[in-house]
Structure 1
Amino acid sequence: MLAKVMLSSLRTRRTSAFLIVTAMALSVLMIIGIDRVRHQVRANFSSTVSGIDLIVSARGGPMNILLYSVFRLSDPTAGIRWETVEHLANHPDVKWWIPVALGDSHRGYPVVATNDSYLSHYRYGRGEALALRAGSWFAGADQAVLGSAVAARLNYQLGDDIVLAHGASGPAIIEHDNHPFTVAGILAPTGTPVDQSVHISLNGMALIHQGGAFLSGLPAMPGRRADTPDSVNAVMLGLQRRTAVLGLQRELSRYRGEPLSAIIPGVQLQRLWRITAAGENALRGTSLAVLVVALLVLVSTVLAALEGRRHELAVLRASGAGRIAVYGIIIGESLCLTLLGCMLGLLLLFVGQWSLAGVALEQWSLRLPETFLTIRELPALGSIVLAGSLAGLIPAEKAFRNSLADGLTPRN
């Protein structure tokens, strides 16, 4: 009987109930949505540097080195000499190495000059290797391999010619229009900055800054081995033993050939999260404020509806309903409205994730989750349901105290 009374009351107050459900749904959407985006951004950042033990660069700030060498979010510092790169490659503790030279761009996208080890050893996610969606890896100094987002946004196909420009960010300084590159391959999506990059050989980057025409497959610099530029901006290292990381880091900090900085990507990521913690807390505070507003709407709406339910509740009291029954009806209504709001909020979030998944991957290299609800989110959702239920305590107590006292009293 109490369930019928509760459902009948909600049907009678359809408009106010809908407003409460909508307010609760928006609060759930913000709280769970912000947490998912935060968690996914961290996961994407962490997956970008999967398997890299050290990043070696010219002496500079560790955070800046991480941002420009991996995430292309900062301007590169001075380069390190190729002789130093060869020293790193021949070090007994080094298992593999990936040289990276930056400084050029193509229509706002960074150009990454590297060699075949980039395709062979670069890993993202849970140790996933880079794969080509079409074409092949560059084989000559005039070939380029595009990230998936670059190819999609600029509508490039295999065989198209592209012109690079000097300058890693901002407007192009000098266009290398006398050295066009041919699109040889397009990488599969990774959800990392790789998707937003144009990849060429070290040989090709050296050529466009020295002048002279070049042809695919021909040595670009006579008298010198291919893929041996004067300098690079960073070298990513994978070590034979993880236990050698700190020792090699100290050794490189005292390297006599030139000033070097060797950073551990995972350590710098943790520092990055500490820097961004204030912004994350501000977003959490905003979402909690929305939840408080939704709860206030719930309490005020239920309180306002009590005036029209005085007779109904008084009849229940007169027919033997006690405190538990009255509390059950009012708190049950609050619980139903909260649960409906949670379900609607999760549904809206799931639909939003599904509809924006392609755009987020293409535009921001962000992989959105594909789940409706995860175990990690259950405590937050349970707290919202509990708060919504407890919000019915105030109107329930008022209904219990006033129902028999004035519910059956005729009013003039």
Structure 2
Amino acid sequence: TATPVDQTVFASLQGIEAIHRSTPSKDIPLEASEVTMAVAAALLGVKSKAATFKVQRAVSRYQHEPLTAVLPGVALMTLWQTLANVEKGLSVMSVLVLVASLLGMSAMLLSASHARQQEMQLLRIIGASPWYLFGLIALEALLITSISLLIGLVLVLLGLHLAQTQLLAHLSINIAQLALTPMMLQMIVLLYGLTILASLLPAWRSYQQVKQG
């Protein structure tokens, strides 16, 4: 039918009861009295879309049983909105982690500039320009960023590979393969740009130390 019904497994109440028995056995059939005639959920269809909310209200107001009528489309929309808020929160956390990482790298380069002062002075003596010194520090920062990206990518791919089987078996979630999208390329370019900006202060500090020395 090319609908979700094609992926649905239909079973009788007797079969469901047999699945959840404390001591399941394929040789002992269930008696009719052992079958619990209780249904936890049912899928209803209406012929007219205008009657959807009328049926929902009638089910919700049913007095004999505490029933709840859920519209699949509305429930899914609420779920996606909730996931969107979670995604925004994770994005904010990612930005904070990125800022903390760049500040940490800048602080590390600043502390390393004190130990490499003689090296920088020697480069200036043999004719290295201030731009050359800046290029060295920026290149070091870019190498650190590239190695971090590579390690992060390997860990993500490894984690997806290890979790794929369990997620598919227990939750029926199939994780798509990681693909390099235009947005990811833009983020990588932005990351390298921020890395160069983070290396400006250590480069300027190194040049000032060489100039004063």
TM-score when normalising by structure 1: 0.41
- The one of 190, 210, 213 aligned to 1:403: 210
1:383 Cα shift?
A: 3.0
2:113 alignment counterpart: 306
| 1:249 equivalent in structure 2 | 52
2:202 aligned partner, one-letter code: P
* 2:199 is equivalent to residue 322 of structure 1: no
Matches within 5 A, 1:80-119: none
Which residue does 1:391 correspond to in 2? 198
1:233/1:360 CA distance change after superposition, 3 Å? closer
Question: Residues 143 and 182 of structure 1 are in contact (CA less than 8 Å); yes or no, is this contact kept in structure 2?
Answer: no
- Give a deviation string over 1:185-214, Cα, whole Å, max 9, x none: xxxxxxxxxxxxxxxxxxx9997126xxxx
Aligned pair partner of 2:173 in 344, 355, 366: 366
1:282 and 1:206 map into 2 onto residues whose CA distance is: 52
Q: Indicate yes or no: 2:36 matched with 1:209.
A: yes
- Write out aligned runs for 1:273-292 (5 A): 273-275=80-82, 279-292=86-99
Deviations 1:318-348 (A, max 9, x none): 3443332222111121112101211111111
Shift of 1:376: 4.1
Q: Cα gap change, 1:269/1:347 in structure 2, threshold over 3 Å: closer, same or farther? A: same
- CA pair 389-265 structure 1, distance change in 2 beyond 3 A: farther
**C-alpha displacement at 1:372, in angstroms?**
5.2
Q: Decide whether the 8 Å contact of 2:134 with 2:203 is kept in 1.
A: yes
Deviations 1:74-100 (A, max 9, x none): xxxxxxxxxxxxxxxxxxxxxxxxxxx
Q: Is the 8 Å Cα contact of residues 13 and 35 (structure 2) preserved in structure 1?
A: no
Shift in Å, 1:255:
6.1
Contact 1:303 1:395 in 2 (8 A): yes
Shift of the alpha carbon at 1:394?
0.8
Task: Please say if 1:123 is aligned against 2:4.
Answer: yes
Contact kept in structure 2, 1:142 and 1:181, CA below 8 Å? no
**Partners of 2:190 and 2:33 in 1: how far apart?**
59
What SS does the corresponding residue of 1:234 show, helix, strand or coil?
A: coil
Report the structure, 1 or 2, having the larger helix content: 2
Structure 2 residue matching 1:235: 3-state secondary structure = coil
SS at match of 2:116: helix
AA at the equivalent of 2:155:
L
Question: CA–CA distance in 1 between the matches of 2:51 and 2:167?
Answer: 38
Contact 2:137 2:203 in 1 (8 A): yes
User: In the alignment, residue 252 of structure 1 is paired with which amino acid?
Assistant: V
The aligned amino acid for 1:303 is: L
* Residue pair 2:14, 2:35 contacting (<8 A) in 1 also: no
Of 223, 229, 235 in structure 1, the residue corresponding to residue 43 of structure 2 is 235
CA distance in 1, matches of 2:57, 2:147: 63
CA distance in 1, matches of 2:99, 2:125: 35
Q: Residues 393 and 237 of structure 1: is their aligned pair in 2 closer, same or farther, counting only changes over 3 Å? A: farther
Q: Which residue of 2 aligns with 1:351?
A: 158
Give the distance between the partners of 1:400 and 1:361, measured in 2 at CA: 56
Q: Is the 8 A contact 2:106 2:202 kept in 1?
A: yes
DSSP-derived class of the 2:174 partner: coil
- The answer (yes or no) to whether the contact 2:142–2:196 under 8 Å persists in 1 is yes
Deviations, residues 358-397 of structure 1 (Å, cap 9, x unaligned): 0122233332232254444333333333222221111011
Amino acid at match of 2:42: A
| Structure-1 separation of matches of 2:155 and 2:46 | 43
For residue 284 of structure 1, what is the amino acid of its counterpart? S
- The DSSP-based 3-state class of the residue aligned with 2:43 is strand
Aligned counterpart, 1:105: none
Task: State the Cα distance separating 1:316 from its structure 2 match.
Answer: 2.7
Match of 2:101 among 294, 300, 320: 294
The 3-state SS of whatever aligns with 2:207 is: helix
Summarize deviations over 1:106-159 as a string: whole Å, max 9, x none: xxxxxxxxxxxxxx67518xxxx3288xxxx65x76446xxxxxxxxxxxxxxx
Q: Report the aligned-residue RMSD.
A: 4.0
In 2, Cα distance between equivalents of 1:254 and 1:302 = 65
AA partner of residue 233 (structure 1)? A
How many angstroms does 1:357 deviate by?
1.0
- Cα distance in 2 for residues equivalent to 1:367 and 1:250: 34
Structure 2 gap segments, 5+ residues each = none
Inter-CA distance 350–306: structure 2 relative to 1 (3 Å threshold): same
